[in-house]
Structure 1
Amino acid sequence: MKKSITLFFLLTFISILSSQSTIRQKTLVQKDSIKKSKLALESQDKKIDSLNNVLSVFKPFKREAHASYYADKFNGRKTTSGRKFDNNKYTAAHKKLSFGTKVRITNEKNGKWVIVEITDRGPFVKSREIDLSKRAYMDITSNKGSGGMLVTIEIITK
Structure 2
Amino acid sequence: MSNETQRRGRSVTLGPVGETVMRNITYHRTLRKLSIAALADLVTRQGHRLTRQALSEVELGNRRVDVDDLVALARALDISPATLLMPLTRDHDDTVEVIGDASAPAEVVWSWLTAEVPLDYRPGYGHTPEGEADINEFRRDSHPSWSRSNHSEAG
Give 1 or 2: higher strand fraction: 1
Give 1 or 2: higher helix fraction: 2
Could you tell me the TM-score, scaled by structure 1's length? 0.23
Could you tell me the TM-score, scaled by structure 2's length? 0.23
Larger Rg: 1
